[in-house]
Structure formats: structure tokens, C-alpha cells
Chain A
Amino acid sequence: MKYLLTLYAEEAGWSRMTEAQKQQGVAAYNAYSEALKKAGAYVAANRLQPIATATTVRVADGKPQVLNGPYADTKEQLGGFYLIDVPDLDGALSWAARCPGASHGTVEVRPIWEYTTS
């Protein structure tokens, strides 16, 4: 089953880090991706630019409304995702716990909606 792990953390925390800590942080994510690949669970992953770069769009009454800023103003911001393929939720949770993001923020685990092709 495929699961999407969405990583939320306080962006400010990143900017407070020293250069060495940032390097170590990035290295930890690289190692995590590597371990996922080794276990055959890796599908895709990406890191997002900071929320300052976010723009939201919605169409109301046929008119698109474009707003500057993220969809929701929350304490922790969406910073990236991992798409993984594992046997079940227990497997997904154990990978979520290993994600470096889980120790400095929150990792949400959600199963992908699988469409059955007829």
C-alpha cells in the first residue's frame, strides 16, 4: 500500500540552525531516503520552498481568486513529503518515526486513495 508522509515543522527552527546543523539535517534526510530505497519502500519525495513563496488559488463564482500566502496559517508549516510503498499501516508508522522530520516537527501518515482500474 502507498502512503503519503507529509512533514510539518516550524520553518523558523530551520533558520535558527547553525550552518553545521543545517548540513547535518540535510544529511539525515539523505540517509533516510537512502534507507527507504534500500528497503524497496521509496516512491518519491520532495522538499518545498518556504511558505513565503506560497500562493493560493480558488475559483469563486467563475472568477479565480489569487491570494498571496499559504492555505492555512498554522504553527507548523508543510515543508515536504515522502511517498512510500509498504505492506501496511504499521510499516508506514515505523518509517514515519524514522523520518528526521518526526523529531523536529510532525509527520502525518495517510494512505493513498487507490483507484481500481476496471
Chain B
Amino acid sequence: MDSHEVDAQAHSTAEAVARRSYGKLVAFLAARTRDVAAAEDALSEAFASALTDWPRNGCPGNPEAWLLTVARRKMIDSIRRRQSGELAAEQLLHEAETFGPDPADAEIPDRRLALMFACAHPAIEAGIRAPLMLQVVLGLDAEMIASAFLMSPAAMGQRLVRAKNKIRQAGIPFRIPGREDLRDRLETVLDAIYAAFTEGWIDAAGTDVARRDLAGEAIFLGQLVTALLPAEPEALGLLALMFYAEARRHARRNPQGDYIPLAEQDSALWNQQMIDDAEALLLRACALGSIGRYQLEAAIQSAHVARCRTGQANWPAVVELYDALLSVSNNSPVVTINRALAIAETLGATAALDALPKTAADARLTEYQPYWAARAELLARTGARDEALQAYEIAIGLERDPSVRRFLQDRQSSLENCPARSKHSRRPGC
């Protein structure tokens, strides 16, 4: 091999290790000290050393162990640099005890799940849990995360640093909670994963690399949780939900890039394998006999998929699922909106309008596009043309995806040009 090939091989080995084991190494390095930032720094220095060392001396047989040894040395060096004398000696002794023998030949224990529980701890600000997990467990850089979450890179960087400091200073433990707390605490982990997924889901066309990758990364985290906690129904439900959504990705736009709502999608374009996997996961979850938000959401997706395929309407079942979802989600306005759209199919548009949440009750709704899109659709169906046109106007103004914006504009103009009652039964936001 020439030097160029050797370099390339070292790079691809390092990349594969990063993908496979980044979080495992951070979790191991930071497990006792809880100093996530120091572990990340040491690990990135170790990766940098690898890229100079491996091309010269060949890739080691166990790259993870090699990186771990180097990163631990870096951590100890940095303690030496920061402190001197007795304190340093004490600290180093503590480090040595902490790490125990070098796990060069042994299996590195997988503590990623414990790390995820630390990142999604209730003491960590809810909005930063998903970004923190993406960075610490998967090694994504702050800039990409910031862009995906529509935040300034500087602000995102600061919040991540603050959250890591909190883990260290507040003594947030790296452990998997005991039986009694597991369900509650797992929910925060799953919510963070789903938040990452929905950020990635917004970019249906898959044109924004940061967003598209985010959906994949979230699925990866979901698979990790189900692999490590195979008997947790909600974890299985979340993975099923993400699979259902992901399976439809390519059907959500036509070749011209126009938005296609669920009811008009060509189900031949759905990823069959992914839907089968989702169905199997959902069955496994339901067999465990403990219902929850993610299983209900996945069941609703399952019903939509079945209807689109068979043409057999099952709206009453969907409404029932939404009723159950509403009771486990503290009357979430988002659930209320979707439930109203399902009610439109069973009891009609007027009943559905009554079932929509009231903007007065939740000011955030005035900036929530799906609320206005749903309202516009339902008003149009009841024949309240002018009000519907106005609601479309707000929905268009709130939409950030140009193809969905065009779709809503087309709906608005067709309503304007044909004052007759619309017969459409589309569901915005699918």
C-alpha cells in the first residue's frame, strides 16, 4: 500500500470506531469523575494521535482499547498540568483507582445507557437533553446540532457546556435507575430521542444533510435503548413510531419536490421492510402489557398505514387511540389537534372545530403551524370560506418548508376560486 492508502485506511478505521464506540468510550472515561467535557477532550486528542500514529505503525488490533489508553493518559496529563504537589498525587491515585487496570485486552464495558440517563436527567434543562445526548453519546459536533435545532452555534455551545458542568457539579450519576424509577426516567430519555427525530423529520425532502442525519441518529439511539432494555414497551413503541415515519420519507415529496399529504401518498414508495419491522416492534411492545404514549402514537401510525393500503376506513379506532393518548399526555394541544382531525372523519367538521384547542388557553398555538392548517381545513369543510382563507394565511406565514408552503397556498387559492364546499378530506401535517 502507498502512503496515501495507508492514510485513508487509518481514517476509515478511526471513523468506524467513532461511529461504533464514541459514546462507549466517553461513558467509560467519564463514568466516575462525571467530567464529560474532560472525557470528550481527551478522546478527541486520542483520535488526533491515532491519525498520526496509525498510518506510521499500522492500525492496532483493538482500536478502542488503543484510544482508551491514550485518552486516559491525556486525562492524567491534564490533571498534572492543572494541579501540582499533594493534591495532584491524590487526584492521580483516585484516577488510577477509578479506572482500574487498563482494559486493553478486556471488553470495554458498555455504559452508554447510563450516560444517556445522565444526559436526560430531570436536573438537566429539558430543551438541552436531546442535543446533549447527540453530542456526548454520538459525538456530533455542536455546529451541526445547533443548525438542526435552529439555534445559534454560540448559544448551543454554551448550553452544552453548562449542561456538562451541571452533570459534574451537581453529581448527576451515570447509572441506570432502579426498577422503581426506571419507567419515569426512561421517559425523559425517550422524549429526548424523539425530539431529535422530529427535528430531523421536518426536512422531508432530505435536502438538509444535518436534518436528514438527525433522524437516522435518533433511530440509532432508539435501537441502542431497545438493545440494552429489550423488555421496555415504551422504548419499543418509540422505535416502531420512528420506523413508521421513516418508512414514508420518500413518498412525502413527488419528483418535482411538491409536498404529498399522507392520504395521497403512493404506498408502493413506502419502505416495506421498515413497516414490517415497526409492526413487529409494536406487537412485541403490546405483549408486555403496559400501554404508554409512544405505543399509542405508533398504533395510530399503524392504523393510517393500514387504511391507506386497504382503503378500509378505521377512523373510530383512531379517535379512540387519540382519546387514550390525550389522557396520558396531559391534554397536549398537539394531540388535541390531531384528535380533532380524526373526529372530522367520524362526526364531521363542525364537531371537529369544537374539539380544537382554544388559542386563548395556550398562547403558543398562535405560532403553531399545524393548528392553523387544521383550522383552515375544517373551516373550509364547514363552508366558512373567509375564515378558512384567513386561517390558511396564518398557516402559510408560519411554515418554513417551501414545498409545504406551496401546498397550503394551492389549497388557499383553490378555495378562493371555488366558493363551493370543499370535499377534501386531507390531513395536514401527515
A residues whose Cβ falls under 8 Å from a Cβ of B: 24, 27-28, 30-36, 38-39, 89-90, 93-94, 97-98, 100, 102-104
Closest to B146 in A: A93
Contacts from B to A (Cβ < 8 Å): 150-152, 155, 366-367, 392-402, 405-406, 409
Residues A97 and B394 in contact, CB atoms below 8 Å apart: no
Please list 28 pairs of residues, one from A and one from B, whose beta carbons are closer than 8 Å in the complex, sorted by A's number: A24-B406, A24-B409, A28-B397, A28-B405, A30-B397, A31-B393, A31-B394, A31-B395, A32-B397, A33-B397, A34-B394, A34-B397, A35-B394, A35-B396, A38-B366, A89-B155, A90-B151, A93-B151, A93-B152, A94-B150, A97-B400, A98-B397, A98-B399, A98-B400, A100-B405, A102-B400, A103-B400, A103-B401
Q: Are A39 and B367 in contact (CB under 8 A)?
A: yes
Could you tell me if B366 and A28 are in contact, using CB atoms closer than 8 angstroms? no
Residues of B within 8 A of A33 (CB): 397
Point out the residues of chain A lying under 8 angstroms from B150, CB to CB: 90, 93-94, 97
Count of A-B contacts with CB under 8 A?
Answer: 59
Residues of B contacting A28 in the complex (Cβ-Cβ under 8 angstroms): 396-397, 405, 409
Residues of B with C-beta under 8 A to A35: 367, 393-394, 396-398
How many angstroms between the C-alpha atoms of A1 and B299 in the bound complex? 43
Chain A residues, CB < 8 A from B399: 98
Contact at B152–A36, with CB atoms within 8 Å?
A: no
In the complex with contacts A34-B393, A35-B398, A36-B397, A89-B152 CB distance below 8 A: yes
Contacts of B397 in A (CB 8 A): 28, 30-36, 38, 98
Min CB–CB distance B370 → chain A (angstroms): 13
Chain B residue numbers with a CB within 8 Å of A30 are 393, 397
| A90 → B minimal CB distance (Å) | 6
- CA A30 to CA B390, docked complex, whole Å: 12
B405 / chain A contacts, CB cutoff of 8 Å: 28, 100, 103
Task: Name the contact of A39 in the complex, choosing from B155, B366, B396, B402 (C-beta under 8 A).
Answer: B366
Output the least CB separation between A7 and chain B (Å). Answer: 14
Q: Which residues of A contact B401 (CB under 8 A)?
A: 103
Question: Contacts A24-B409, A31-B393, A39-B367 given: A100-B402 contact, CB under 8 Å?
Answer: yes
**Most chain A beta carbons < 10 A, residue from B366, B367, B393:** B367
- Bound complex: CA A19 to CA B155 (Å): 41
Q: How far is the CB of A107 from chain B (nearest CB, A)?
A: 11
Report B128 CB to chain A, min CB distance, Å: 12
Q: How far is the CB of B310 from the nearest CB of chain A, in Å? A: 36
CA distance A89 to B149 in the complex (A): 13
- Nearest-Cβ distance from residue B45 to partner chain A, whole angstroms: 32
Q: A28-B409, A38-B366 are in contact. Are A98 and B398 (CB under 8 A)?
A: yes
Chain B residues with Cβ under 8 A from A98's Cβ? 397-400
Whole-angstrom distance between the Cβ of B373 and the nearest chain A Cβ: 12
Minimum CB–CB distance from B203 to chain A (whole Å) comes to 11
Give the Cβ gap from B402 to chain A, nearest Cβ, in Å.
4
Distance (whole angstroms) from the CB of B72 to the closest CB of chain A: 38
B216 to chain A, nearest CB (A): 22
B367 neighbours in A (Cβ, 8 Å): 35, 39, 94
CB distance from A39 to the nearest CB of B (A): 5
Question: Which residues in B have their C-beta under 8 angstroms from that of A38?
Answer: 366, 394, 397
A97 and B406 CA atoms in complex are apart in Å by: 16
Residues of B within 8 A of A104 (CB): 402
- Beta-carbon contact of A27 and B151 below 8 Å: no
Query: What's the Cα separation between A93 and B396 when bound, in Å?
Result: 17
Distance in Å: Cβ of A56 to nearest Cβ of chain B: 31
* Known contacts A28-B405, A35-B367, A35-B394, then 12 further A-B pairs from the complex at CB < 8 Å, ordered by chain A residue: A27-B409, A31-B409, A32-B396, A38-B394, A90-B155, A94-B150, A94-B367, A98-B397, A98-B398, A100-B405, A102-B400, A103-B400
By Cβ-Cβ distance, the 8 closest A-B pairs, closest first, are A35-B397, A31-B396, A31-B397, A103-B402, A32-B397, A97-B400, A98-B400, A35-B398
Residue of A whose beta carbon sits closest to that of B152: A89
Interface centre among A27, A38, A97 (most CB of B within 10 A): A38
Query: What residues of chain A lie closer than 8 Å to B406, measured between beta carbons?
Result: 24
Closest CB-CB distance, A117 to chain B, in whole Å?
A: 28
A28 to B400, CA, bound (A): 11
Q: With a CB–CB cut-off of 8 A, which chain A residues contact B395?
A: 31
Closest to A98 in B: B400
Query: In whole angstroms, how far apart are the Cα atoms of A67 and B280 in the complex?
Result: 70
Look across to chain A and name the residue whose beta carbon is closest to the beta carbon of B403.
Answer: A103
